[in-house]
Amino acid sequence: MLRVGVTGGIGSGKSTVSRRLAELGAHLVDADAVAREVVEPGQPTLAAIRERFGAAVIRPDGTLDRAGLAAIVFADPDELAALDAITGPAIAARVAELRAAAPADAVSVYDMPLLVERGLWVHEHLSVVVETDEETRVRRLVEQRGLDEGDARRRLTAQATDAQRRAVADVVLTNDGTPEQLRRAVDALWEQRLVPYAANLSSGTRSRRPDRSADTVVEPRADWEARAERVVARLAAALAVTGVVTEVSHVGSTSVPGLLAKDVIDVQVGVHHLADVDREDVRLAFTGAGYVFRHGNHTDTPHPSGSAPEAWGKRFLGGCDPGNHVHVHVREHGSAGWRFALLFRDWLRHEPAERDAYAAEKRRLLHQHATTSDYVVAKEPWFEQAWHRANAWAERTGWQPR
C-alpha cells in the first residue's frame, strides 16, 4: 500500500486536494474527521478534555464546544500542546485502524494538518504539501469560515512555516490559481507518480532510469541534498525498530556538491552484522519503506586490487518511487566497503581538484560508452587509483568515518 501524506497550512486547500485524490480512487483518511470522531459524547478523549480544560468547553447537549476550545488553545502554545497530548494518541490509533482496512494495492491518502509539526511525514512514502500565499489563506478563513482576522493569523502562526513544510515535501502543489488549475495538477500527480509508485510497490518492482548514459548523467541539481535527507530520515525511522542499524548516510556522487552524477540518490545503511539484513523483520522494514532487494548484487569491487572480497560484501536495494530514483547500499559497519563509501564522499567534498578530476573522467567516459552499465564498469580503473589517493588524504588529515 502506498502511503501519501497530504498537508498544508490552514486555508491552503489541502482538503480539496485530498478529496480529488479520493475521487480518482485513493483511500482517504481525514485527520480532522477522525479528530471530531474521537471527541464525540461518550468517548474517553472528551472526558479527558473536560477534565483538563473545564466544563466551559462542553455544550449543554454534551458535545464539545470546538470554537471555545480553539479560542483557548490557539492563543497559548502550552494549552495547544496539552490538547495535542490528549487527542494525539486517540487520533493515531483510529487512523491506523482505518488505514489498515485499505486494500493492499491501494493509494492510502492521509489528510493531516500537523503532518510536519508532529514529524509524521517520515512514515509516509510521499509527502504532498499544498501551498498558498499567506494573505490568500487569511482572506479565505475570514470569508469562508467566518473567523476574524486576528484569530486567522494566530492559527497560521501556530502551525509550521512554509519553509518547514517545503523541507519535507516530495511534491509541492501551489494553490494560488484557479480550482481547475489545482485539479489538473492533482490529476497529473495521480497519473504520473502515485499510480506507478503504487504499482511498483504492489509488484515489488524498483524504479529505474533508462540505460543510456547521455540521459542519465546530469549536471549537479540543487535538490539532491534535500531529496537525500528525506530518504535518510524515512529509512532511519523504518529501520529503528529492528535494532540492527548503526547509521544511514547520503553517499555517492549526488552527496558531493558541484559534481555531475546520475540522477540517483545513493544511501548507505550501516548495520552491526550484514547477516542481520536477511532477517525477516529487517527485510519487511525495508520493503515496507518502499525498497526492493536486488538479488545477485552482494559485493562491491574490492580495493586495492586483489583484496579479500568478504570485506566488500553488501546488500543492495532499489526504491520504487518513479519520481525519485534511490539506491540503498547496506554494508557492515567498519567493513572496507562501508569505510570507503564515506571516505570517498568526504575526500571529494574537501578536495575540489579531485572532484573536478573525477568529473573530467566521467565526461571522458560518457563520450565513449552509450549505456550507463558500460559507463559504470569503465570507471573501475579510475576508482582503483582513487582509492590510493583517498587513503593517502585520510592518513594526511587524520580523517575518520563519522
Q: What is the mean pLDDT of residues 200-208?
A: 94
Kindly tell me the burial class for residue 85, based on how many C-beta atoms sit within 10 Å of its own C-beta (0-12, 13-18, 19 or more). exposed
Whole-number Å distance between alpha carbons of 109 and 244: 30
Helices 77-100 & 66-73 angle (0-180, nearest 10): 130
List alpha helices for 11-76, DSSP H: 14-24, 31-37, 44-53, 66-73
Q: Which residues contact 10 (CB under 8 A, 6 or more apart)?
A: 113, 137, 141, 152, 155, 156, 159
Give the mean pLDDT of the chain.
93
The per-residue pLDDT for 214 is 64
Q: Does the pLDDT value for residue 137 go beyond 80?
A: no
Which residues, 6 or more positions from 69, have their beta carbon under 8 angstroms from its beta carbon?
A: 49, 53, 57, 83
Task: Evaluate if residue 146 carries a pLDDT over 80.
Answer: no
Q: For residue 386, what is its C-alpha cell?
A: 582513487
| 3-state DSSP assignment of residue 328 | strand
Q: What pLDDT does residue 215 have? A: 67
Which amino acid belongs to residue 290? G
Domain residue ranges in the chain? 2-203, 215-397
pTM: 0.90
| Residues paired with residue 331 on neighbouring β-strands, in sequence order | 270
pLDDT at 234: 98
Reported as a single tens digit per residue, the pLDDT across 34-73 is 999 999 999 999 999 999 999 999 999 999 999 899 889 9
Mean pLDDT of 242-257: 97
Looking at domain 215-397, its CATH architecture is: 2-Layer Sandwich (3.30)
What is the reported pLDDT for 371? 86
- C-alpha dihedral (43, 48, 54, 58), degrees to nearest 10: -10
Amino acid at 320: C
Structure confidence at residue 10 (pLDDT): 78
- In the prediction, which pLDDT does 212 show? 73
> Given a cut of 90, is residue 402 above it in pLDDT?
no
Architecture of the CATH domain 2-203: 3-Layer(aba) Sandwich (3.40)
User: What average pLDDT does this structure show over 85-91?
Assistant: 93
